[in-house]
Each structure stands twice: as C-alpha cells, then as structure tokens.
Structure 1
Amino acid sequence: MRRAFLGGAAGLLACALAPGWAVQPASTSESAWQAAGLPQARQLDLSSTRTGHRYRIFISVPETAAPAGGHPVMYVLDGNAAFPSAALMARTVTRRSKATGLHAPVVVGIGYASGEDFDMAARARDYTPPAAGKAAKGEGGADLFLDFIEQELKPLIQATVTIDLQRQALFGHSYGGLFTLHALFTRPATFQTYIAASPSIWFSERFVLSEAAGLAASRKHKPQVLLTVGELEQSAGPPTAKATERSAALAQKKMVDEARDLAAQLEAQKQALGLARVGFIELPRENHGSALFPALSRGLEFFLER
C-alpha cells in the first residue's frame, strides 16, 4: 500500500504546472488549456472568530459509502502544500479497499487564504506553543488555533459528511509537527491519532517537552502517536564552507535525536501516559523538506491500521 501511495503522489506532483510555463495558442481544432482540478476535492475560505484570521479549507470525501460508524478523518496541516498528495493517497486506499479491508478517510487540509504553499508568518503564529515572550514576536498562537479546529472547523466538517468521532487523526510536519505534539500533550482527547512529522522540538528551548505532563493527567483517552524524521535532517551533507555553517545549526536542533528520544520516552511511559500505541520511523535518505511526503504516506498507513 505504501508504494502505491508514494507512486500516486509522485504522479500528482509531476502533473503540476509550474508558474511561468509557456502557453501556446490553441488551434482551431483543440480546446484551450484549463486550470487543473483535483477529483473529489472541494475548498472554501473560512474566517475564524477565535484567531481573527482566514483559512483555506480543503476536503476530499471517499466515493464509497461511509462505514457503519462513519468515515475516519485525517486533518492535515500546511494544507495548501500537503492536501493534494494526502487526498490522492486516500483515493488509492479507496481503490484497494476490497483487497486490504481498509476504509479510506475523509481528508481535510487546513491551509491559508494567501494561497502560498507554506505561509511562513501564519504558520509561525498558529503552530507554535505559548512559550514566554513569543506573542511579541508573532508566535505562540497554538492554543487559539486549536480552539479554531475544535470549535469552528470540526463542527463544519461533521455537518458536511458523516464522521467517525472515534477515528480522527492530526498530521503536521516541522512546525506542524510541533503543533501536533502540543495538541497531544495539552488536549489529548481532540484526536485519537497524532502524527508528528519532523517536529520542531527545538522551538523555544524545547518548551513543548515541558507540556508532556498534561498527557499523564488525561490517561483515559488512549490516543496513539507516530513520530517520523528524515535520516538526513541532522546532517548538511559533504563538508563545504556553507555546509559547515548549516551543520552547526542542525547539530543544535538535533532533529533526529530529539524525535527518536521522545518516541523512546513515550514508549517507555506508554502505560502511565495512557497511550495506546507509539511509533517511530526514521525515513532513509530524506532531508527536512523531502521527508514531508513519505511521512504522509507512513502516517496514513499508521492511522488506518487496525
């Protein structure tokens, strides 16, 4: 299933048209080029009263009927960039459901109305936890953003399609992975599966680790968590002057070590923390940017496994 996911995602990305491509005039016998659409996908712009900001929401719903308990649902951060691949991976599950017995999820992408693949200022505001002094820097808005998801977005999705409220997942990469851990540690009942890909644990002197105590106080919810990280996220490659400077920054962040260590700690304390399952995957030959797409594939697989 994983190979099919990645193969489908690669095909989707290969079909994307880059800005500035040469447009040839249509001949009299040919139709003009049209904007490409994504099957089974819809989007809308939604203003939040909780954050005061505007979000672009994407949704893909399986063509098959919902299971008895409703469709599982996967909420994907950085939706402008990640939703197309996540939606295609879910469609692949639908095509193979008779062979695998898996039900494809509804995929909800949470993006930004700016239309940028990665709205850096907005994600720094929304995805980072409320560490001291961060509000003055335009950061630390994770609690308000989580309010938006819980109080505004989820009710909208539940009114749109039949959802299994006991099978909801959150996926986030980088700062999105940091937000995923923040949600797990502070409001573990919000989702049943948390997929933190390449989480920026280093943020504000590893503040998010201080929030983990909140998970122990809510042991009845039994969520499962997967951490992934690219093998190359702690290495800048062959030594050059520029690579040496980058290596110092990567060494300080310790992306691989931090993700691995946190997964080991969560596994060791799984029963005390009330976790149903803990997973860790180090993605071979992937750097911080490229790790997003295989993490989506492995995360979806982790979520749908019974």
Structure 2
Amino acid sequence: MRRAFLATVAGALAGAALPARAVEPAAAAAAASGSDWQPVVLPQVRRLDLASARTGQRYRIFLSVPETAPPPGGHPVIYVLDANAAFPSIALMARTAARRSKVTGRAAPVVVGIGYASGEDYDSVARARDYTPVAGGKAGKGEGGADLFLDFIELELKPLIQSTAPVNPQRQALFGHSYGGLLTLHALFTRPAAFQTWIAASPSIWYAERYILSEMAGLKTARTLPASVLLTVGELEQAAAPPTAKPTDRAAVLAQKRMVDEVRDLAAQLEAHRQEYGLERVRSIELPRENHGSALFPALSRGMEFFLE
C-alpha cells in the first residue's frame, strides 16, 4: 500500500507540474498574480466543529467515507488524533486503499480525524490537556484531561459517527502520535474494549515518570474481542548524549526519555503476556532515519496497513 500511495502522490504532483500547453513567462506571471489560484478541497471529506458537553471544548472533526459499498457489518473505522496535521495524509491513504480493495480483498476504511477548532496543526495547550492522564492522583497545570476526552469519544463522537456513516463497531482503531500515543496507551490499558486495534506512534511513555506503565495491568480486564497493538518509533528519537552535554541540551533530553528503548521494552512485555492480555497481535516497528516529528507520516502508513491486515 505504501508503494501505491507514493505512486498516487507522485502522479498527482507530476500532473500538477505539467501545464496543458506552453505559457509565455510573462503570461504565466500575470496569471499567477491574478485570481486563477483556487483553494484545494480534499475529495470525500467533510468537516464539523463539535462542542463537547464532557470536556467543555470544541473539536474539529474530519470525516472521510469510502465511495465503495460497505461490506457486511459496515466499514472498518479508524479514529486519528492530531487531525489538523495528520488527517490529509491518512485520508489519501484510505482513498488509495478503497481503489485497491478489489485487488487486496481489504475493506476500505472510514477515517475520523479529531482535531481542534483553533485550526493549528498542533494545538499544544489543548493536546496537553486532552492527551495526558491523571498520574498517581495528580495532574500538572493544564493537564490530566485524558479520561474526559475519552468520554467525549465514546459517548458523543462515536454515536455521531455511527449515525452518519456505515461503520463496523467491531472493527475500530485508534491512532495517536507522541502525546497522542500516550493517550492511545492509556485508553488501551484502562478501556481495553473501546477499540480493537491500537496504534501508538512515538508514544510519550516518559510522561510523569513513566506512570503509564503502571496502568498495564488493566489489560487483564475481560474483553469481548481480541485486540491488536502496533507500536512505532523513529530511529533518531533516541541517541546517546555526549559527556559534555548539559541536562537541558536536546541530546541529553532525548537520552533521558529513552523513546526507542521504551517502545522496545513495552512491545516485549505485551508480547510476553499476549494471551493473558487477550492480544491477538503485537508488533513494533523502528522507522529508519526518522526523528520524532517526521516519524508521524510513515507511522500513519504502517498503521493503516496494520489495521487493514
């Protein structure tokens, strides 16, 4: 699917770069400075700003529904956090999956993006509030709203989506990156029946002295369906700090967070207790040459593949 997705993007860009006919430089400059430029609209995408009674916040919800007929039971559905930044890419991946569904035999997914009405790619204040759990009974200022946010997804957003699109409630996935990956793990450990596929990309396991790991025992809660877990992390998200590094230097901070080691360790623990925790699949992927920011996009592609397998 990665090859098909890249080919689609390359073809689209190539088609956009080649004019239908030759244009003189002066004419091209005049056209570019006029009103010929048009805003780009993603096909098959709708948007809704939704106020939550649970959190008291406004969310920008993006929805992409395949044009293909739903399979028996409905389309699989993936909920994606940080949607202002992540949704355009994964919506295109879903369209590619839909076009290839007859070849692959995989049902095309509905994609639900959960973003913020501020319009920022990453609303740092809002995501710190919504994506962090209350750790050990304490929450930092402007943090600790994860459970209210998950209530919003379960009690307000999911019913809305189920009334809008033909989705399969037994084939639901949650994708989150960074703090969103932390939230994905918190939901997995405390609400293991909420989704069937969990994709935590570059999860902030380090948060609050790695409190999230103490919640793992919640996976022993009986679930109605087996779950699948994918963990991803960029190869460059952890490096040894030089001896002369100060504690506040970037290299020292990355070394202390142990992003790569934490993903490796968590994947090993989940695999070791896979049957006990009711996990059907556990997979971890280290993304070569990717840092914390760039790792989002290959994680989206790998996550989509993992979900549709």
8 Å CA contact 1:196–1:228 kept in 2: the answer is: yes
Q: Does residue 139 in structure 1 map to residue 134 in structure 2?
A: no
Q: Distance between the aligned counterparts of 2:77 and 2:32, measured in 1?
A: 44
Map Cα deviations across residues 213-237 of structure 1 (whole Å, 9 max, x no partner).
Answer: 1111235432110000001100289
Q: Distance between the aligned counterparts of 1:115 and 1:180, measured in 2?
A: 22
In the superposition, the TM-score normalised over structure 1's length comes to: 0.90
Count of matched residue positions in the alignment of Structure 1 and Structure 2:
298
Report what 1:128 is aligned to: 132
Measure how far apart 1:11 and its partner are: 7.6
8 Å CA contact 1:131–1:204 kept in 2: the answer is: yes
8 Å CA contact 1:9–1:85 kept in 2: the answer is: no
Report what 2:5 is aligned to: 5
Map Cα deviations across residues 19-46 of structure 1 (whole Å, 9 max, x no partner).
Answer: xxxxx76589x85322110000000100
Letter in 1 for 2:160: L
1:263 equivalent among 243, 262, 267: 267
Q: Distance between the aligned counterparts of 2:220 and 2:98, measured in 1?
A: 36
Report what 2:44 is aligned to: 40
8 Å CA contact 1:6–1:294 kept in 2: the answer is: no
Measure how far apart 1:247 and its partner are: 1.2
In the superposition, the TM-score normalised over structure 2's length comes to: 0.89
8 Å CA contact 2:136–2:211 kept in 1: the answer is: no
Structure 2 unmatched runs, 5+: 16-28
| RMSD after superposition | 2.8
8 Å CA contact 1:236–1:243 kept in 2: the answer is: no
Q: Say if 1:27 and 1:122 are closer, same or farther in 2 by CA, change over 3 A.
A: closer
Q: Say if 1:212 and 1:33 are closer, same or farther in 2 by CA, change over 3 A.
A: same
Kindly name which structure, 1 or 2, has the bigger radius of gyration based on alpha carbons. Answer: 2
Q: Say if 1:214 and 1:250 are closer, same or farther in 2 by CA, change over 3 A.
A: same
Q: Does residue 247 in structure 1 map to residue 248 in structure 2?
A: no
Report what 1:278 is aligned to: 282
How do 1:85-124 and structure 2 match up within 5 A? Answer: 85-124=89-128
Letter in 2 for 1:92: T
1:177 equivalent among 175, 181, 192: 181
How do 1:24-35 and structure 2 match up within 5 A? Answer: 26=31, 32-35=36-39
Report what 1:205 is aligned to: 209
Q: Say if 1:85 and 1:251 are closer, same or farther in 2 by CA, change over 3 A.
A: same
Structure 1 unmatched runs, 5+: 16-23
SS at match of 1:171: strand
Map Cα deviations across residues 191-247 of structure 1 (whole Å, 9 max, x no partner).
Answer: 000000000000000011111111112354321100000011002899997999211
Q: Distance between the aligned counterparts of 2:149 and 2:110, measured in 1?
A: 21
8 Å CA contact 2:245–2:252 kept in 1: the answer is: no
8 Å CA contact 1:125–1:139 kept in 2: the answer is: yes
Q: Distance between the aligned counterparts of 1:11 and 1:254, measured in 2?
A: 39
SS at match of 1:224: strand
